[in-house]
Amino acid sequence: MSTPLVQLRGIRKAFGGIKAVDDVSINLHPGEVVALLGHNGAGKSTLMKMLAGAYPVDSGDVIVAGQQVHIRTPAEAQALGIETIYQTLALADNLDSVANLFLGREKLTPWRTLDDDFMEVQARKVFQRLNRNFTNIRVPVRRLSGGQRQVVAIARALYFNARILIMDEPCAALGPEETAMVGSLVRQLKADGVGIFLITHDMPDVFGLSDRLAVMKNGRLVGTYATADVTEDQVLGMIIAGKRPEAIAETARSAG
């Protein structure tokens, strides 16, 4: 097996006295989808926000493509090829889709001004790829439908060539057609060798898309298993009771 794209080793994070993430270790390989499961407040989002640079890590090692890294800001995470699609989508509602796609990474002209034409042309291409009906890209995103807003958020990951993609509940606000679109996109990115962390509550997504699943409860990792080895009931048992299924080998795939 190749070097993991991401190795998280003994990651801890506390807010005040509360251990939000407590000694969690997970690997992610190229072309692999790892589903992160657990109740609200289990620590999945916090763990991913540390990888995305939104929160600093209290202790533990983050190793990206074999290199130990210290990710302090979202910009540093982006520089490592880590893209995040947040549950909230992280869109500035008052700006248009083009501005949101490039937000924080604007293309500048040689005179250090915004290269709006270039950005509009590029944006149109990416949006077309995701949804051919999405043409009103110059209106503030607050006027867009839930699916279109999602397209803008996903387009960021696509345009900036994510190596590692974190998707936090990507289908929570979507209709069936758009959910299918996200599903096919995940498979396509997987085929391109992108590693994906998928945070979700939706069992069909877990079994339809993921290669492995990791369950968290109260900040701790319950276990990591190959999705094919476990049943839905066993997964629910882990999420709700924190009970590991018996006689099934964990697949941490920690070996390099």
Partner 1 sequence: MSDDAVPLWRRTGVDLRLLLMCVLLAALAVGFHVLSGGLFLTPENLYNVAQQTAVVGIVSTVMVLIIVARHIDLSVGSVMGFIGVLVAYLQYTSGWSWPAACLAGLAVALVVSIYQGWLVASLGVPSFVVTLGGLMSFRGAAFLVADGKTQPVNDAFFQRLGGGYDGGIGTTWTWLLAAVIAVVLVLRMLQRRRARAFHGMPNRPLWLESVLVAVPIVAVFAFAAVMNDYRIGDKPQAQGLPIPVLLWAAVAVVLSFLVHRTRFGRYVFAMGGNPDAAALVGIPVKRVTLMLFALLAVLVTIAAIVSIARLNAGTNSLGTGMELYVIAAAVIGGTALAGGSGSIFGSVLGALIMQSLDSGMLLLDVSIGKRMVIIGQVLIVAVVFDVLYRRRVGDN
Residues that bind partner 1 (CB under 8 A): 52-54, 73-75, 77-78, 84, 86, 88-95, 99, 103-106, 108, 112-114, 117-118, 120-121, 135-136, 140, 142-143, 156
Core vs surface per residue 33-45: b (16+ CB within 10 A) or e: bbbbbbeeebbbb
- Least distance to partner 1 from the beta carbon of 146, Å? 15
- Least distance to partner 1 from the beta carbon of 197, Å? 16
* CB-side neighbour CA atoms (13 Å) of 9: 14
CB of 67 or CB of 113, closer to partner 1: 113
Question: CA separation (Å) from 252 to 27, 96, 230?
Answer: 7, 42, 14
CB of 143 or CB of 187, closer to partner 1: 143
Residue among 215, 203, 205, 219 at smallest CA distance from 252: 215
- Least distance to partner 1 from the beta carbon of 190, Å? 24
Within the chain, strands assigned E span 6-15, 18-28, 33-37, 59-64, 67-69, 82-85, 164-168, 195-199, 212-217, 220-226
| Beta carbons within 8 Å of 163's beta carbon, 6+ residues apart | 5, 65, 80, 81, 82, 194, 195
CB of 25 or CB of 131, closer to partner 1: 131
- Least distance to partner 1 from the beta carbon of 45, Å? 12
Size of the chain in residues: 256
Report the distance separating Cα 115 and Cα 119, nearest Å. Answer: 6
CB of 24 or CB of 101, closer to partner 1: 101
CB of 121 or CB of 240, closer to partner 1: 121
CB of 118 or CB of 207, closer to partner 1: 118
- Least distance to partner 1 from the beta carbon of 31, Å? 26
- Least distance to partner 1 from the beta carbon of 113, Å? 4
Residue among 214, 222, 223, 219 at smallest CA distance from 19: 219
